[in-house]
Amino acid sequence: MTDRDALLKRIDELAAEMIEVSSSIHSKPELGYREVNAAALMESMLKRHGFTVERPLADIPTALRAFRSAGSGKPAIAFIAEYDALPSIGHGCGHNLIAASAFGASVALASSLEKLEGSVWLYGTPAEEYDGGKIPMLSAGLFDNVDAVMMMHPECIYLVNTMSLALDALQIRFSGKAAHASATPHEGINALDAVILLFNAINALRQQVKPEVRIHGIITKGGTYPNIIPDITEAQIYVRASDRTYLDTVTEKVRNCARGAARATGCRVTIKPFERSMDNLINNSVMAGLLRTNLNETGIHDIAEEDLEPGSTDFGNVSHKVPSLYMYAATAPKGSSLHTREFAKLSITPAAHQGMLNSVKAMALTGLDLLKSPELVAELKKEFSGRYMK
């Protein structure tokens, strides 16, 4: 039996445990930084397979990393687990499948260390949905010694050439002066007018930015009562663009929209982030080529060519630190939409678990390729260094 056959056989043997992880996390949805049950489950399951587990990390109780190592521990191949849910929806982004896929790929690939030198790591990363839990982990240096990192994301297609948009999250607060809206409106300074002007200015700005830019937001505070001139209003705005450099330009334009609205109405304005900023995702082409070949080997040939509807993820920040690969796996029927109750239901079906299993096989085989070939590791690191380390 070849190393590849042995690895695929090991993944099939782990299928029931992967489904156990997926089902357990799905049945107890937990919001970001509160993934107590999910983190404890991951820790327990990984220890069962001989992994050393470090938890908590970066002052985050639900962050963890686990590893098994042989020889020098190089190359170090990592897989990402996410396990936070969405408010009121549950696992409408399928993070139960992401956690289970990372578990399966890590445990299966670690079995190859009986014959090969290197290490296999699993990172449990909280709060991807709203605060970018990977970012403080990066800042703490927890990814510094990793040579390559991979993860899957549930979708309705298989995709290797994934992308994401860089994101800034702005909280904008206007301070005016309250007054009786009928008797003495001339004594007031209307903060609601300012926030309305902000949205109108953003709408005008859309014509002057590149087509892939996304600017969207909500008014979180609009006043207290119709007969009172609103003295405090707030809005939360997401600004997204295809790369960090251009996003910085667009974000400054949005800040100027807020400043202009304040000046026009006589309000004061404060602007601050309400979530961590995320960078755009760039997949390493060496790993992407390996993954495509390995998907084909496991019987997956219907692979989309491009990502037409990208969102944002803190894995983008990881991809600026470590050679990275982020794949989509078809776990739901075509036309299904993420972040919906329907997708939450679809994320626990036999079809979802089959898509997850397919992704585990492709990622683990890609990890095996890297463990067996120092030349490939050098090639992917050369590409990464050429892009980021000039």
Does this model's pTM top 0.85?
Answer: yes
Q: Which of 273, 291, 316 is the last residue of a domain?
A: 273
Do 229 and 295 reside in the same domain of the chain? no
CA–CA distances in Å: residue 189 to residues 158, 235, 351: 53, 17, 57
Do 159 and 210 reside in the same domain of the chain? no
Do 159 and 174 reside in the same domain of the chain? no
Q: Which of 206, 239, 273 is the last residue of a domain?
A: 273
Q: Which of 240, 258, 273 is the last residue of a domain?
A: 273
| Residue matched to tokens 């499948």 | 97
Sequence-distant (6+) residues with CB within 8 A of 108 are 7, 10, 11, 14, 360, 364
CA distance 163 to 239: 16
Q: Is the pLDDT score of 245 beyond 70?
A: yes
Q: Are 74 and 91 in contact (CB under 8 A)?
A: no
Q: Which CATH number belongs to the domain containing residue 326 in this structure?
A: 3.40.630.10
Do 307 and 245 reside in the same domain of the chain? no
CA distance 369 to 360: 14
Among 262, 201, 273, 275, residue whose Cα is nearest residue 233:
262
Q: Is the pLDDT score of 390 beyond 70?
A: no
pLDDT digits (tens, 9 = 90+) for 193-212: 999 999 999 999 999 999 99
Do 145 and 36 reside in the same domain of the chain? yes
Query: What residue type is 287 in one-letter code?
Result: M
Do 296 and 147 reside in the same domain of the chain? yes
DSSP of 302-313, one letter per residue? -EES--SS----
Give the rounded percent of residues in the chain with a pLDDT score beyond 70.
99
CA distance 46 to 64: 11
Band (pLDDT 50/70/90 cuts) for residue 307 is: confident
Do 262 and 138 reside in the same domain of the chain? no
Do 216 and 191 reside in the same domain of the chain? yes
pLDDT digits (tens, 9 = 90+) for 33-75: 999 999 999 999 999 999 999 999 999 999 999 999 999 999 9
Do 147 and 183 reside in the same domain of the chain? no
CA distance 267 to 192: 10
pLDDT digits (tens, 9 = 90+) for 286-305: 999 999 999 999 999 999 98
pLDDT digits (tens, 9 = 90+) for 354-383: 999 999 999 999 999 999 999 999 999 999
Do 69 and 142 reside in the same domain of the chain? yes
Do 370 and 224 reside in the same domain of the chain? no
CA–CA distances in Å: residue 264 to residues 11, 176, 193, 254, 260: 63, 12, 9, 15, 6
Band (pLDDT 50/70/90 cuts) for residue 388 is: low
Number of domains observed in the structure of the chain: 2
CA distance 203 to 206: 5
Do 107 and 89 reside in the same domain of the chain? yes
Q: Which CATH number belongs to the domain containing residue 246 in this structure?
A: 3.30.70.360
Q: Is the pLDDT score of 259 beyond 90?
A: yes
Domain span at 185: 166-273
| DSSP 3-state of 233 | strand
